Structure formats: structure tokens, C-alpha cells
């Protein structure tokens, strides 16, 4: 671990982690946007994950989600755990694009699920939340026959206003911004960088080299290695 990077973590009072699929690949959840990912293998994947498809073919949407999005055996890895530990010290906030619930399982205290969470399921008819186990058995709410759906942001849906507010507030107060396992090319998530505290140090930890119009430190390596070496 570079001593200056370790010092940046040690000195920071308000860290924001901006994270993506690369955080969960070590837990066995594939990166859908990678060369061999779901989006490459299925050209209609974005349509199958749209509200338009959900409304027009709810059974097809349900089967697609069950087959491609749920990985019940996946467990948090060292990246989730170390970031969660920093949030438990009230020194960090995680803003993630991931919808896999692993940050919750790791005990993350300050967390913004920017795109929602697959394991939060609710009935569109009555609004009641139901256990995910119930949803994986049937897409129909047994109390009122309403359609169940995971609380995730589908294509052609907007980000929840509260998630935007919480994310922007965290970015504005951060003194260290750490980008982990994401190309930062998907908007509006990528646009959060525009709201960063301009005095904050920015570090990117990613297998592929990233490029931004502002000064930042690029750590081009596997994030699991980085967080195994980081002292929290």
C-alpha cells in the first residue's frame, strides 16, 4: 500500500466511496457490462430491464430477473467489509450502483443504493413490502393479487429524489472521494462527480485506467488486493 494513499485514508474525516459492478465480481456476481456480460450476450437486456417491458410482459420480466439478477449464494467480500467498517466509524458513506444487497449484508451504516435494491420487494397495488423469498416463489402478492416488483430503477424510470439528495450532500461534504470498480460512464451516477467538494482528493481504484478532466490518483489494480492491504 502506497504510504501517501494510506495517509489520505487515515486523515480523511468524510470519505465517499462511489462503487460499481467491479466491487461484487469478487463475490461471484458478474459485471453485466463486461465483454462477456449479460449486456453483451443479450442485446435486448436493457429492454428486458425496462419499465416498458415490466408493464407489457410482467411474467417475462419476472422470469428474466429471477434467472439473471439474483445470486443468493453471494457473500460480501473484503471490499464491502472494509468500506462498511469505515462507515461504522462514521467516517464514510457508500454510494453504489450495485443492486445486490451485499453492502447491507456487510453492515454498511451510511449507504445510498443509487439504483435501488433487488432484495427490497413491494406490491405495486398496496405498497406493502414482502420478503424476497416470497417474490422468488411468485410475482403475485398473495394478500391482494397485486404485482410484486423489486425496488430497483428500471430503464425509463427516474432515480429516487431522496437518493439524489443524499448522494449530492455526501459528495459536497467529502474530503476524500474513492471510485471503486466502476468506469463512471453511466449517468446520472457519473454526474455525481460534478458535485464533489473541489478540495477533496480523488482516488480511482479500477482494473481499467480511467480518465477525468480534473486531477486524481489512478490505482490500476484489483480492488480486492487494495482493500486487503488498506489499514482501516
Three cell numbers at 82?
A: 472494509
Averaged pLDDT for residues 206-224: 95
Could you give the CA distance from residue 180 to residue 223 in angstroms, rounded to a whole number?
A: 7
Could you read off the pLDDT of 73-105 as tens digits, one per residue? Answer: 999 999 999 999 999 999 999 999 999 999 999
The three cell numbers locating residue 63: 422470469
Residue 36 confidence (pLDDT): 47
Tell me, yes or no, if the pTM score tops 0.85: yes
Task: Give CA torsion, residues 12, 13, 19, 22, to 10 deg.
Answer: 40
Q: Is the dihedral of CA 179, 181, 186, 187 positive or negative?
A: negative
The answer to whether 1 touches 230, Cβ cutoff 8 Å, is: yes
DSSP, collapsed to helix, strand or coil, labels residue 29 as coil
Closest by Cα among 61, 67, 74, 66 to 101: 74
Summarize pLDDT for 143-199 with one digit per residue, the tens. Answer: 999 999 999 999 999 999 999 999 999 999 999 999 999 999 999 999 999 999 999
**pLDDT band at residue 5 using 50, 70 and 90 as cut-offs:** very high
Banded pLDDT at 22 (limits 50, 70, 90): very high
> Can you read off the three cell numbers belonging to residue 14?
468524510
Active site residues: 115
- pLDDT band at residue 1, thresholds of 50, 70 and 90? confident
Amino acid at each position: 500500500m502506497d504510504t501517501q494513499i494510506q495517509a489520505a485514508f487515515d486523515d480523511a474525516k468524510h470519505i465517499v466511496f462511489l462503487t460499481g459492478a467491479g466491487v461484487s465480481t469478487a463475490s461471484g456476481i458478474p459485471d453485466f457490462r463486461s465483454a462477456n456480460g449479460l449486456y453483451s450476450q443479450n442485446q435486448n437486456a436493457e429492454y428486458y430491464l425496462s419499465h416498458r417491458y415490466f408493464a407489457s410482459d410482467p411474467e417475462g420480466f419476472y422470469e428474466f430477473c429471477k434467472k439473471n439478477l439474483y445470486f443468493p449464494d453471494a457473500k460480501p467480500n473484503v471490499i464491502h467489509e472494509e468500506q462498511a467498517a469505515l462507515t461504522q466509524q462514521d467516517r464514510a458513506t457508500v454510494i453504489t450502483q450495485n443492486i445486490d444487497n451485499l453492502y447491507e449484508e456487510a453492515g454498511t451504516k451510511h449507504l445510498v443504493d443509487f439504483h435501488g435494491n433487488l432484495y427490497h420487494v413491494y406490491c405495486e397495488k398496496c405498497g406493502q413490502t414482502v420478503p424476497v423469498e416470497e417474490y422468488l416463489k411468485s410475482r403475485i402478492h398473495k394478500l391482494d393479487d397485486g404485482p410484486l416488483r423489486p425496488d430497483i430503477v428500471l430503464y425509463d424510470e427516474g432515480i429516487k429524489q431522496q437518493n439524489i439528495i443524499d448522494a449530492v450532500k455526501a459528495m459536497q461534504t467529502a474530503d476524500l472521494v474513492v471510485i471503486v470498480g466502476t468506469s463512471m460512464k453511466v449517468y446520472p451516477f457519473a454526474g455525481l462527480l460534478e458535485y464533489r467538494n473541489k478540495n477533496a482528493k480523488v482516488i480511482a481504484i479500477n482494473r481499467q485506467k480511467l480518465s477525468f478532466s480534473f486531477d486524481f490518483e489512478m490505482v490500476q489494480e484489483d480492488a480486492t488486493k487494495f482493500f486487503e492491504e488498506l489499514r482501516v
